Amino acid sequence: MIILRITSGLGNQMYQYAFYTLLKEKYKDTEVLCDTTWFHSNFEGRRYELERVFGGVNNSLFEIKKASVRQIINLSGRVPNLFDGTFGVVFDKIRWVINRLLKNNKLKSRKPYIIEQYGQDSLSEDEFYNAVMNLDTSNDYYITGFFIEETLYSPVIDRVRDCFSFRTLSEEWNIAYADKINNCESVSIHVRRGDYLSDIYKDKFLTLGKDYYEAAINYVREHSDDASRLKFFIFSDDADFVKEEFKWINDKVVITGNSGDLSYRDMQLMSMCKYNIIANSTFSQWAALLNVCPKHLVIYPKAYMTATDNEVKSDKNWIKKKKK
């Protein structure tokens, strides 16, 4: 048995689902399950969204099987949080004590079979890849990580695209946005701010500046089939900021109205644009990976985190940019 932990925001959940798909295809005779209990202990406001966004869509191949509490305890050596809400906060303190007691026995015995891509016992990229691609399936494994590397999703990307089908647009404003997008040389621009400015992440993640967006836009203008018909659709978690800071862009539309349960609609609309200028964000990365336009072009930033550059994408339609 293999259990894969699902965490974080929608974009990361989608990469984890892609890796889940890869494991299922590689280890066909082994049960592969997901652990979604991280969201019960999550105090950053992240929600488990995969099933709400992609589950039950007509003609979609999306499916996910979840591990039981017993299975999670047996494979991870830890008691997960079983409850949402206020009681979950209380139970988190109780389970912390329980897990401290388990640490020196059950967790210790499970260590060889807990594979962490990041964290205290993390492996290098090559070590992680070799480990997960050569599992001895006579043992059980509990695997954690984000799995955003191309080697971990590219083998199954076509199948995963069939799993990530969006529901038909039903909101009047989104239908209007889609009509505009489909009737011009549409360029999506994603500007990620929000939690990147928080004390938790400001020293880890870059907030991309004007130099990146200018360089990206210039590249699109130079490679557009018809530069006179270019229209820029700006997506951000800070609409007031982009309205002020992106005044220098003509022929633009700042997308608003998609928050909360409708946040995923921004990804859907971005995936419809002919050109994608993405941020250092898995959210807009997936918009580009799901792009439905033939010969679409994606501009992505050289820098992702303060200490790490983006990997070079192998697809010739993905262009890495830093500045003018």
The 10 Å CB-count burial string (b at 16+, else e) for 69-98 is eebbbbbbbbbbbeeeeeebeebeeebeee
pLDDT of residue 201: 47
Concatenated DSSP letters for 67-136?
Answer: PPHHHHHHHHSSPPP---HHHHHHHHHHHHHHHHHHIIIIIHHHGGGEEESSSTTB--HHHHHHHHHT--
Tally of CB atoms within 10 A around 182 = 12
CA 138 to chain CA mean position, Å: 31
Give pLDDT tens digits for 125-175: 899 999 999 999 999 999 999 999 999 999 999 999 999 999 999 999 999
3-state secondary structure of 25: helix
Q: What is the pTM of this model?
A: 0.92
- How far apart (Å, rounded) are the C-alpha atoms in residues 65 and 49? 14
What mean pLDDT is predicted for residues 247-251? 93
Phi, psi of 85 (to 5 degrees): 70, -155
Concatenated DSSP letters for 33-54?
Answer: EEE-GGGGG--S-----HHHHH
- How far apart (Å, rounded) are the C-alpha atoms in residues 228 and 139? 60
Residue 153's alpha-carbon distances to 16, 137, 212, 227, 241, in angstroms, are: 9, 21, 26, 33, 33
Give pLDDT tens digits for 55-106: 999 888 999 999 999 999 999 988 999 888 778 888 888 888 888 877 766 6
**Position with higher pLDDT, 46 vs 112:** 46
Among candidates 272, 311, 307, 312, which has minimal Cα distance to 293?
272
- How far apart (Å, rounded) are the C-alpha atoms in residues 153 and 149? 7
- How far apart (Å, rounded) are the C-alpha atoms in residues 72 and 74? 6
Residue 202's pLDDT band, with cuts at 50, 70 and 90, is very low
3-state secondary structure of 284: helix
- How far apart (Å, rounded) are the C-alpha atoms in residues 23 and 53? 22
What mean pLDDT is predicted for residues 293-310? 78
Give me the half-sphere count of Cα atoms (radius 13 Å) on the Cβ side of residue 302: 9
Tally of CB atoms within 10 A around 120 = 5
What does the mean pLDDT of the chain come to? 89
Measured in Å, how far apart are the chain's first and last C-alpha atoms?
50
